[in-house]
Amino acid sequence: MNYIIIIISAIFVNNIVLAKFLGICPFIGVSNRVETSIGMTGAVTFVMVIATIVTYLLQHYILIPFGISFMQTITFILVIAALVQMVEIMLKKVSPVLYQALGIFLPLITTNCAVLGVAILAVQNDYNLIESVVFSIANAIGFGMALLIFSGIREQLELVDVPEPMKGIPIAFIVAGLLAMAFMGFTGIV
Amino acid sequence: MNQWKNFSKGLFRENAVFVLFLGLCPTLGVTTSVINGVGMGLATTFVLLMSNIVVTLIKNFIPDKVRIPSFIVIIASFVTIVELLMQVYLPSLFDELGLFIPLIVVNCLVLGRAEAFASKNTFTSSVVDGLGMGLGFTMALFFLGGVREILGNGSFLGFKFIHGDGILLFILAPGAFIALGYLIMIMNKINKKTA
């Protein structure tokens, strides 16, 4: 039951993009086409889940026992940067097709605050290992869902006659606002 | 390089939020009031200035291949310093900003300036660039925080000037997106007129 609450809360009620404002850069940056946002979602899911597991283990078996949890920020970002690099090298060797598909998105993930944010939130919420994994998967799904819906809307938006100064980013933000408003309808279901 | 031009580009022509669209997560996340916005802006400015200074001083010693990880470590160190200082001296602001303080590390603006400017320019230029970009970012957060606080809460800097509540939507998540969308639109219009 606990897991279901974590999942629904992370995907709908506290959606990582539309309610917590994490990962806005890729949300605005790569949401022009549906295909690119699928690629981005795949890469983010991969890194987010692995990063959450590794940072959980680091936090509970190294940082806390040695009393150096103030090093959290530095450690976590280094882990994520290293992971992204590792994933990139591994994918290149193991699955060149997937590597081609994700290509340009992989290095961008290091500075995606959603990954670091989820890792820190999982620690702050005192989740155990399984809860952390569930939490990170749910957040990745929430990120992907928001990105997909948004890129679908933006593809349509290109055909619409928008006032000149509003073209591009401003109208995208207003659409994102309306989308966030729609997601607010989920408030209170958990 | 003309230092005044270098400074003012961060405020207007290359404003981080309104023109370059960098550092949007904290911009949207913390601007429920003016105080929070400016607090976040100044914390980011400090990190940006310090990381620019350190990066420009050691740029010749960093091997090219590991420069991005090195920049991240430098930035993360200053973020940790800000985190610890705020926890002690500004505990209430620290609680309000919460998760977004450690997330200064992944603010694309800070890494972007280290990579694109400080690692290529002289000490003075880097200091001026860090100050200009940081203050431009702070200014954007001030405006967005101002709009959201006035419309959403009917107050400015905590002083209430209407009875009851404002338009609650602007304090909530959707209001952040919508207010920023309109502010960027106004900025586009102004930039087009002056250009």
Q: What is the rounded CA–CA span in Å between residue B185 and residue A39?
A: 30
Give CA angle at A142 (A16, A181), nearest 5°.
65
Predicted pLDDT of residue B1: 59
Looking at chain A, which residue has its C-alpha nearest residue B84? A70
Q: Which residue of A has its CA nearest to B192?
A: A165
B106/A74 CB distance under 8 A: no
- For A154-182, write each residue's pLDDT tens digit: 888 888 888 888 888 889 899 999 999 99
CB pairs under 8 A between A and B: 119
* CA dist., res. A109 & res. A56, Å (int): 19
Q: Which of A41-45, B40-44, B99-103, B170-174 has the highest mean pLDDT?
A: B40-44
pLDDT for B46 equals 94
B185–chain A Cβ distance below 8 A for any pair: yes
**Which residues face B160 on adjacent strands?**
B155
Q: What is the pLDDT of residue B169?
A: 85
pLDDT tens-digit series, residues B106-131:
888 888 888 888 888 888 889 999 99
Q: Which residues numbered 95-134 in B keep a CB inside 8 Å of some CB on A?
A: 99, 102-103, 105-108, 111
* Closest in A20, A24, A77 to B72, CB measured: A77
Residue B39 vs residues B4, B104, B105: alpha-carbon distances, Å = 25, 12, 16
B21, B72, B99: residue with CB nearest A81: B72
- CB neighbour list of residue B115: distance below 8 Å, 6 or more residues apart: B67, B68, B71
Q: What is the pLDDT of residue A160?
A: 86
**B28 contacts in chain A (CB < 8 Å):** 21, 24
Q: Is the pLDDT of residue B54 over 90?
A: yes
Kindly report the number of other CB atoms within 10 A of residue A35's CB atom. Answer: 10
- Suggest the residue from A12, A18, A24 to mutate for an interface test with chain B (most B CBs closer than 10 A): A24
* Contacts of B63 by beta carbon, 8 Å cutoff, 6+ apart: none
* Chain B interface includes A62 (CB < 8 A): no
| Alpha carbon distance B184, A152 (integer Å) | 22
CB contact B79 to A (< 8 Å): yes
Which residue of chain B has the CA closest to A115?
B106
The reply to whether residue A177 touches residue B84, judged by beta carbons under 8 angstroms, is no
Cβ distance A116 to B105 under 8 Å? yes
Phi, psi angles (nearest 5°) of residue B155: -140, 165
Q: Show the tokens assigned to A31.
A: 């949401």
Burial, A78: exposed, middle or buried (Cβ in 10 Å; 0-12, 13-18, 19+)?
Answer: middle
Domains of chain B, residue spans: 3-194
Beta-bridge partner residues of B155: B160
Here the tokens at position A134 are 């569930």
User: Rounded to whole angstroms, how far apart are CA atoms B183 and B194?
Assistant: 17
Per-chain mean pLDDT for chain A: 85
Q: Which residue of B has its CA nearest to A28?
A: B21
Tell which of B20, B71, B99, B190 to mutate to test the A interface (max A CBs under 10 Å). Answer: B99
The whole-angstrom separation of Cα B45 and Cα B88 is 19
Q: What is the pTM of this model?
A: 0.86
Average pLDDT, integer, range B140-163: 85
What is the tens place of the pLDDT at every residue in A72-119?
888 888 888 888 888 788 878 887 877 776 666 677 777 778 888 899
The DSSP secondary-structure symbol of B155 reads E
CA distance A28 to A26: 5
Q: From A168, which residue of chain B is nearest by alpha-carbon distance? A: B185
ipTM, 2 decimals? Answer: 0.83
Distances (CA, A) of A73 to B37, B59, B94, B119, B145: 22, 23, 15, 23, 26
Q: How confident is the model at residue B85 (pLDDT cuts 50, 70, 90)?
A: very high
